[in-house]
Structure 1
Amino acid sequence: MTEAFIYDAIRTPRGKGKPGGALYEVRPLELLGALLVGLKERYQLDTSLVEDLLLGCVTPIGDQGYNVGKAALLYADWSDRVPALQLNRYCASGLETVNLCAAKVQAGLGRLFLAGGLESMSRVRMGSDGGALLTDPELISRVPYLPQGVAADLIAT
């Protein structure tokens, strides 16, 4: 089995997740795009060598919708041959993309992948995408579901 390695870890600036926060005026596309430009410049990267971008995003609507990963690749002037997959595994979305990229390398499905997560909570409110687990009274009454954020708080306290 081929070994998988994490080559680098970079992140965007952080700010308060609320309207008027330090990064409120910066669109998620711009945040991720700046990171991709920085990565390309740091390694003089031929972006066509990248097999895929896997991006975790809990609330893929509005500024973060319609596969913001692919949009950011194009915004950052990466090769248009690089695809992007966006997934929602709630709080573990970014970590899940790292695991999936490692599994793809180990399975021989490619050699160079990008993994990460994006969430602009000052621009896209948590839970604003709705969905049955938040809005369907019948399902909510039948299924004992505890949102991950609440569960994490219970574990921490």
Structure 2
Amino acid sequence: MADAVIVSTARTPIGKAFRGIFNDTHGADMGAHVIKHAAERAKLDLGEVEDVLMGCAAPEGTTGSNVARVAAIRAGAPVSVSGATVNRFCSSGLQTISMAAQRVLVDKVPVMIAGGLESVSLVQGPPGGNKNRLVNPWVQEHVPGIYHSM
């Protein structure tokens, strides 16, 4: 049986909610930053990735619209790379790592990216009703079809 191994890690620095350095940074941009740098550290071409799984406790507003896939595209992955956002509240990121390992072990998927992201500063308002900065401007300009409904 194949082993599932973590070959690279990355994270954004910690900032203060609502007033720190990331208080106006789109959630997909933060996710893209860590995806890109984790892939570079592993000398991985993002085109080799089967799926990007990202956990998010509040997948709405700036972290909505399947932020995992939007972040992957923003990181430079081709549109052939799929993505899924998982909500398990405080264990969302850990859940995606477990799911990625399972895909490697059971489905024989060679390369997965998994992790978690939040944008506390930009996810505001009532749960489920937050549309604040839903669309990432760079992704909208370069891959406009990503926001079209199925």
Q: Give the TM-score normalised by structure 2.
A: 0.78
Contact 1:50 1:82 in 2 (8 A): yes
**Aligned equivalent of 1:53:** 52
Report the AA paired with residue 72 of structure 1: A
Residue 90 of structure 2 aligns to a residue whose secondary structure is coil
Structure 1: runs of 5 or more not aligned: 132-157
SS of 1:54 mapped into structure 2:
strand
What is the distance in 1 between the residues matched to 2:68 and 2:119? 13
Structure 1 residue 8 corresponds to structure 2 residue 38: no
Secondary structure at 1:25 match in 2: coil
1:101 is matched with which residue? 100
Counterpart contact for 2:8–2:42, Cα < 8 Å: no
1:14 shift after superposition: 1.1
Q: Which SS does the other structure have where 1:91 is aligned? A: helix
Percent of pairs with identical residues: 36
CA deviation digits over 1:17-60, x for unaligned, max 9? Answer: 2x222210211121112222323433442211111001101111
Q: Is the 8 A contact 2:55 2:88 kept in 1?
A: yes
- Paired amino acid for 1:84: G
**C-alpha separation between the residues in 2 aligned to 1:62 and 1:22?**
19
Figure out how many residues of one structure are paired with residues of the other and give that number.
Answer: 129
Q: Who wins on radius of gyration, i.e. which is larger? A: 1
The 1-side partners of 2:128 and 2:78 are apart by 34
Contact 2:10 2:35 in 1 (8 A): no
Letter in 2 for 1:10: A
Does the 8 Å CA contact 1:59/1:128 hold for their aligned counterparts? no
- The answer to whether 1:37 aligns with 2:36 is yes
- State the superposition RMSD in angstroms: 1.8
- Structure 1-normalised TM-score? 0.74
- What SS does structure 1 have at the residue aligned with 2:9? coil
Offset, 1:130? 4.8
Consecutive unaligned residues of structure 2, counting only runs of 5 or more, are: 130-150
Q: How does 1:1-157 map to 2 (within 5 A)?
A: 1-17=1-17, 19-125=18-124, 128-130=126-128
Matching residue's letter, 2:14: R
Q: From the superposition, tell whether residues 94 and 128 of structure 1 become closer, same or farther in structure 2 (CA, over 3 Å).
A: farther
CA distance in 1, matches of 2:70, 2:63: 10
**What residue in structure 1 maps to residue 132 of structure 2?**
none
CA distance in 1, matches of 2:47, 2:27: 23
8 Å CA contact 2:53–2:83 kept in 1: the answer is yes
Equivalent pair of 2:68/2:85 in contact (CA under 8 Å): yes
| Structure-1 residue corresponding to 2:148 | none
